[in-house]
Amino acid sequence: MPLAAELRHVSFGYGNGPLVLRDVDLAIRPAEFVAIAGPNGGGKTTLVRLILGLEEPTKGEASLFGERATRFTQRSRIGYLAQRAQLGVDAPVTVREVVSAGRVAATRLIGRATRSDRAIVAEAVERVGLSALVDRPIQRLSGGQQQRAFIAKALAAQPSLLVLDEPTTGVDVEAQEAFAALLDELHRHLDVTVLYASHEFGAVERFVERLVLVRGTIVFDGKPSDLPQLWHDPSHVHA
């Protein structure tokens, strides 16, 4: 079985600017739950964008499920929750509409959603515990509930790889803990590969099997329990 994602000797800089990442090697196996952590500006989001094929490496190769990432053809296998995911629209948008939007790529683009699509959307909403709020505008939900709705949107594509970039920014600590527990449950039940990028990895630390620390390059890759004590200090990570 091919790796879910792989970076081989990848370096990257935006335009003619300095390199943001240097000589990164990373292999994500199917069904792993991996946290990518590091200070702000350390290159986490860039690393995620390279994995997703949104950026072409300056040097090296990035691949998804054995294919070159920028030319990956099975994109509906990816569920993606972008950094500070939020709606930029003025109109009220129900939870059902948000989650249904995540189903579009996995099914036909033209015409109405099928009965099967509607059932998959309902299941995704139920998995994140929002069935009672499915027809409520997401703008009226709490930050934690909104994050759950966005996760359901990512799940509606029934992905093999779930990528979350700073998913809990602006969400209180209690909601972050609940969110991490939800991810752990989804990972175990759906057998999906989870890539969780955040400068605050405390909430997911007890659930992840592997922690990758990024600061211009990969400075640690292993079990969270093997991490030097210094990095468990949040003030260090934020520095």
Partner 1 sequence: MLELEFMRLALATGAVIGVLAPATGFFLVQRRLSLIGDGIGHVAFAGVALAYLADLPVIATALAVAVVGALAIEWLRASGTAAADQALAIVFYVGIAAGVVGVSLAGALDVQLFSFLFGSILTTTRTDFVTVALLGTAGLVIIALLYRALVAVTLDEEGARVAGVPVAALNVTTAVLAALTVAISMRIVGILLIAALMVLPVIAASRIAWSMRSTILIAMAIGLGSVLSGLTSAYYGDLPPGGTIVLVAAATVLVAALAGRVIRA
CB of 113 to partner 1, least distance (A): 6
Q: Residue 80 interacts with partner 1 (CB under 8 A)?
A: yes
Q: Which of residues 14-53 bind partner 1 (CB under 8 A)?
A: 52
Question: With binding defined as CB under 8 A, does residue 113 bind partner 1?
Answer: yes
Cα dihedral: 104, 106, 108, 113 (round 10): -50
Q: What residues does 186 pair with on adjacent strands?
A: none
Give yes or no for residue 88 binding partner 1 (CB under 8 A): yes
Q: Is 157 in the site for partner 1 (CB under 8 A)?
A: yes
Q: Which stretch binds partner 1 (CB under 8 A): 25-33, 38-46, 55-63, 102-110?
A: 102-110
Kind of pairing between the strands at 5-13 and 59-64: antiparallel
217 binds partner 1 (CB under 8 A): no
**Could you tell me if 7 and 62 are in contact, meaning their C-beta atoms sit under 8 angstroms apart?**
yes
**Residue 239 is a binding residue for partner 1 (CB under 8 A):** no
> Is residue 98 a contact point for partner 1 (CB under 8 A)?
yes
Residues 114-153 that bind partner 1 (CB under 8 A): 135, 137, 153
How does 16-48 read in b/e, with b if 16+ C-beta sit within 10 Å? eeebbbbebebebeebbbbbbbbbeebbbbbbb
Q: What is the spatial distance between Cα 86 and Cα 82, in angstroms, rounded to a whole number?
A: 9
Which residue number, 110 or 230, has a Cβ lying nearer to partner 1? 110
Distance of CA 177 to the CA centre of its chain: 16
**Residue 71 interacts with partner 1 (CB under 8 A)?**
no
Calculate the alpha carbon distances from 129 to 22, 80, 136, 178, 184 in Å: 41, 19, 14, 11, 14
> What gap in Å lies between CA 123 and CA 144, rounded to an integer?
19
Number of residues lying near partner 1 (CB under 8 A): 37
> Minimum distance between the CB of residue 73 and partner 1, rounded to whole angstroms?
8
Rounded Cα distance, 231 and 155, in Å:
31
Contact flag: residue 170 with partner 1 (CB under 8 A): no
Residue 219 touching partner 1 (CB under 8 A): no
* 76 lines the binding site for partner 1 (CB under 8 A): yes
Residue bearing tokens 């909601």: 175
CB of 97 to partner 1, least distance (A): 5
Q: Which residues bind partner 1 (CB under 8 A)?
A: 52, 54, 74-76, 78-82, 85, 87-94, 97-98, 100-102, 104-106, 109-113, 135, 137, 153, 157, 163
